[in-house]
Amino acid sequence: MSFSSEFDSLALAELSTFSQNATAADVETALARSQTNGKRLSLANFAALISPAAAEPPYLEALARQSHELTEKYFGRVMRFFAPLYVSNECINICKYCGFSRDNPILRVTLSLEQVATEARYLHEQGFRHILLVAGEHPHFVSDNYLRDCVARLRGDWPSISLEVGPLETEQYVPIVQAGAEGLVVYQETYDRGVYDAMHVSGPKKDMDWRLDTLERGYAAGFKRLGIGALLGLAPWRNEAIALAAHAAHLLRKCWKAQLTISAPRLRPAAGEFEPLVNMNDRELVQFICALRLAFPEVGLVLSTRESPKLRDNLIPLGITLMSAGSHTEPGGYTGQGKGELHVTKGGRMVKPSAPMIESEGEHATVQFEIADNRSPAEVAARLEQMGYETVWKDWESALNEA
């Protein structure tokens, strides 16, 4: 059974209410159960750990301590690094919160294979060996064949290639996996049906169920790493957290050979000037990450450069196992590739940009969102070393991918 087919029968509303009203005793039960070695937390336990009651001082610190201990036990004193490489910011979806939204008058480009290789070479020189190819959803510019060719082009230098692109069919994923990709990341954005419908005005992304089942289609095609996440700032975060945990639990059972990673990205400023509908403060983010660790001790938790250096440093011991650093969220952002082909689109089709517009943008494609941690990968690695962590740049081998 796919996640979309069980989604509406999950007791998500009840669990949200339970979380909102959880008592100190509920929190203590969940914490005690987690401390008992080998016990799995139920979704209700998880709901208690993200409750307002668990945000109070004695519990939040206890939660953080357990999260730290579990992370060290399962992952050791190491941090894995990866780098996002935006290959295109073309998009046919209209999504209210996204800088790449179809009708935003931004400068767009899809990098050629040569340009992708140049950008990737820069990241390789920085030390990265795990790369995440990111693109907007555009079947013409960012076709499945284009993605397959990008992967094939990078394969020799990159032991681990993951994709964060518009959802595809299983049969479309197969050639991409065979070309050498091993990871697939798809954020649901929001698990709230009403909010999902309001945020996704038009385009294929409007079909929520299609997106809910994407990871399962990717797994069927042979992807070995699956990444999920909710974009925090659209619906009340506790509700999103519970649905995300249910999704994780589903994938762990069904896609049992895949390594699962979870992200908790908070909405950032972007073109379109969208304001978050709900806010999630730092304390709540810490609580969420620690609760995820207690519920899923062996799942990878991802932290991007959306967050500030100070918060990132403080989150490192609290459950994070995968980090990006020095990221750019626009195609060509690392080495200026694609500058000659910048354009705007109307209804998703290419039109020539007006000259003043290009000048005002400084001849760069437009970013998806602003990043908050501008430190270089080497600086972040040095900080990790100070904190007693080894940076692991390479943790995969091409021989483990499809032949």
Partner 1 sequence: MTDKPQKLRIANRDFNSRLIMGTGKFASGEIMAAALEASGAEMVTVALRRADLSGQRDKFANILTFVDAKKYLLLPNTSGARNAEEACRLARLGREATGSTWLKLEIHPDPRYLLPDPIETLKAAEILVKEGFTVLPYINADPVLAKRLEDAGCATVMPLGSPIGSARGIETRANIEIIIEQATVPVVVDAGLGAPSHAAEALEMGADAVLVNTAIAVAADPVRMAAAFQAAVEAGRAAYEVGLAPKRKEADATSPLTGFLNES
Question: Which residues make up the interface to partner 1 (CB under 8 A)?
Answer: 37-38, 72-78, 127-129, 159, 224, 252, 256-260, 298, 385, 388-390, 392-397, 399-400, 403
Residue 343 or 394 with smaller CB distance to partner 1: 394
Q: In whole angstroms, how close is the CB of 142 to partner 1 at the nearest point? A: 29
Residue 71 or 93 with smaller CB distance to partner 1: 71
Q: Is residue 266 helix, strand or coil?
A: strand
- Cα separation, 171 vs 285, in Å, equals 37
Residue 1 or 399 with smaller CB distance to partner 1: 399
Please answer whether residues 393 and 128 qualify as being in contact, where contact means their C-beta atoms are separated by less than 8 angstroms: yes
Q: In whole angstroms, how close is the CB of 247 to partner 1 at the nearest point? A: 16
Structure tokens at 301: 């938790």
Residue 160 or 287 with smaller CB distance to partner 1: 160
CA 305 to chain centre: 11
Residue 25 or 78 with smaller CB distance to partner 1: 78
- Cα separation, 364 vs 347, in Å, equals 21
Q: In whole angstroms, how close is the CB of 303 to partner 1 at the nearest point? A: 19
Q: In whole angstroms, how close is the CB of 382 to partner 1 at the nearest point? A: 12
Q: Which residues contact 233 (CB under 8 A, 6 or more apart)?
A: 97, 266, 267, 276, 277, 278, 279, 280
- Cα separation, 252 vs 58, in Å, equals 31
- Per DSSP, the residues of 78-118 read EEEEEEEEEEE-----EETT-TT-TTS---B-B--HHHHHH
Q: In whole angstroms, how close is the CB of 124 to partner 1 at the nearest point? A: 9
Residue 182 or 307 with smaller CB distance to partner 1: 182
Residue 194 or 388 with smaller CB distance to partner 1: 388
Q: In whole angstroms, how close is the CB of 81 to partner 1 at the nearest point? A: 9
Q: In whole angstroms, how close is the CB of 351 to partner 1 at the nearest point? A: 42
Please answer whether residues 114 and 154 qualify as being in contact, where contact means their C-beta atoms are separated by less than 8 angstroms: no
Q: In whole angstroms, how close is the CB of 368 to partner 1 at the nearest point? A: 27
- Cα separation, 382 vs 316, in Å, equals 13
Looking from the CA of 124 toward its CB, the CA atoms found within 13 Å total 14
Residue 39 or 346 with smaller CB distance to partner 1: 39
Please answer whether residues 293 and 301 qualify as being in contact, where contact means their C-beta atoms are separated by less than 8 angstroms: yes
Q: How far is CA 40 from CA 15, 45, 249, 368, in A?
A: 17, 9, 11, 37
- Cα separation, 156 vs 171, in Å, equals 24
Q: In whole angstroms, how close is the CB of 72 to partner 1 at the nearest point? A: 5
Residue 159 or 348 with smaller CB distance to partner 1: 159
Please answer whether residues 136 and 88 qualify as being in contact, where contact means their C-beta atoms are separated by less than 8 angstroms: yes
CA 148 to chain centre: 21
Q: In whole angstroms, how close is the CB of 396 to partner 1 at the nearest point? A: 5
State the burial class of residue 50 (Cβ atoms within 10 Å of its Cβ: 0-12, 13-18, 19+).
Answer: buried
Structure tokens at 29: 């039960």
Residue 149 or 395 with smaller CB distance to partner 1: 395
